[in-house]
Amino acid sequence: MKLEIAVLSGDGIGPEVTAQAVKALEAIAHSFDHTFTFKDALVGAIAIDKTGNPLPEETLQLCADTDAVLFGAIGDPKYDNDPSAPVRPEQGLLRLRKELGLYANIRPVKAYDTLLEKSPLKRNIIEGTDISIYRELTGGIYFGKKQLNEAGTVASDLCEYSKEEIERITRLAFKAAQKRRNKLTLVDKANVLESSRLWRKVVTEISKEYPDVDLDFLFVDNAAMQMILNPSQFDVILTENMFGDIISDEASVIGGSIGLLASASVGDTCCMFEPIHGSYPQATGKGIANPIAAILSAAMLLEHFDLLEESQAIKNAVEKALELNLTTPDLNSINPLTTEKVGDFIYDYI
């Protein structure tokens, strides 16, 4: 297979970890006789520094023209505490999601047997956890109208959802549940929010098309509790943008390291793959960033193109690295490897 892949490595540890993901894909191309071409482009704080724009038009064009996007991370502390900064790196990511129509963000959360001890949660709580979170990614309060009055004393954000926006991701989530354990949990706040009540209504309607899937509902506050008390109760979780952001980051603690979690963002025509950790500026350039989330994002990319054996080859290499404890300091405090060395092992193993 021939694939053109845009590589947007971004800020902080983004470039280091993305380089390892590219390497893993190169190993796959070599072993399975595919042709993957990689094209780099700017995004985030580094794009602001170089062009004044967190998502230069060239980058957007490249993403639209290629088959898939491999994304690193964005964000720089110099923007975070400056509420008045006119451009911020995050705008690049948000615009990219919107322009490419990446409405479904899929985040698998798994408790790896070899890592059960690393989790802050007790073994008996997390054992067997295998969740797929479907987070809506191009709607809700992230993209609703934002206002600040002239005096700068009243600010607002609008959380808006349409039936169509809810329907398309809901169908993806039900289909995913059918391939898994046939359970779907909608997380919302329907006892307070009008938009949540629309979610509940639309999802309930669509559930009739998937009679083999059990649907249940959880208020987001309760879900935040249940995720820690009993995570193995979940199969597919479906939720809106902001709740998905919070719940999936929370769920990331289950596996023992956020450095393990990959994500896919898909739409009707484009797709993007990205580790869920952020730019982790304190670690930049030190070789301590865990590349596994980025590498598993590459595995999700292969899966997306139905290259299942190839995807499994990456996952096997990752499991091997975990098993042998050939990992970065977040998982191995005694005898850690650098980011690059972990990537090398996985390259060689494939």
Ligand X SMILES: CC(C)[C@H](C(=O)O)[C@@H](O)C(=O)O
Binding site for its own copies (CB under 8 A): 75, 79-81, 83-84, 88, 90, 94, 120-122, 125, 141-142, 144, 146-148, 152-164, 189-195, 197-198, 200-201, 204, 217, 220-222, 224-225, 227-229, 242-243, 245-250, 252-253, 258, 278
Evaluate whether 70 touches 61 at the Cβ level (below 8 Å): no
Name residues contacting ligand X, limited to 76-135 (CB under 6 A): 90, 93
Q: Which of 167, 165, 178, 182 is nearest to 216 (CA)?
A: 182
Helix (H, G, I), strand (E, B) or coil at 3: strand
**φ and ψ of 194, to 5 deg:** -65, -40
33 is catalytic: no
Our finding on whether 319 is near ligand X (CB under 6 A) is no
Q: How far is residue 129's CA from residue 231's CA, in Å, rounded to a whole number?
A: 6
Nearer to ligand X, 239 or 327 (CB): 239
Q: How far is the CB of 91 from its own copies (least distance, A)?
A: 9
Our finding on whether 221 is near ligand X (CB under 6 A) is yes
Evaluate whether 254 touches 119 at the Cβ level (below 8 Å): yes
82 is catalytic: no
Q: Which of 132, 75, 135, 72 is nearest to 105 (CA)?
A: 135
189 is catalytic: yes
Q: How far is the CB of 127 from ligand X (least distance, A)?
A: 26
Which residues pair with residue 8 across a beta bridge?
A: 71
Which residues pair with residue 36 across a beta bridge?
A: 3
Q: How far is residue 255's CA from residue 259's CA, in Å, rounded to a whole number?
A: 9
Q: How far is the CB of 139 from ligand X (least distance, A)?
A: 12
245 is in an annotated binding site: yes
Q: How far is residue 132's CA from residue 181's CA, in Å, rounded to a whole number?
A: 11
Q: How far is residue 264's CA from residue 344's CA, in Å, rounded to a whole number?
A: 24
Our finding on whether 229 is near ligand X (CB under 6 A) is no
Q: How far is residue 154's CA from residue 150's CA, in Å, rounded to a whole number?
A: 9
Count interface residues toward ligand X (CB under 6 A).
Answer: 7
First-last CA distance in the chain: 18
Candidates 49, 67, 130, 249; catalytic one: 249
String marking each residue 156-195 x if it binds ligand X according to CB under 6 A: -----------------------------------xx---
Nearer to ligand X, 220 or 295 (CB): 220
Candidates 130, 214, 245, 344; catalytic one: 245
Active site positions, annotated: 142, 189, 221, 245, 249
Q: Which residues are annotated as a binding site for Mg(2+)?
A: 221, 245, 249
Give the residues lining the site for ligand X (CB under 6 A): 75, 90, 93, 191-192, 221, 245
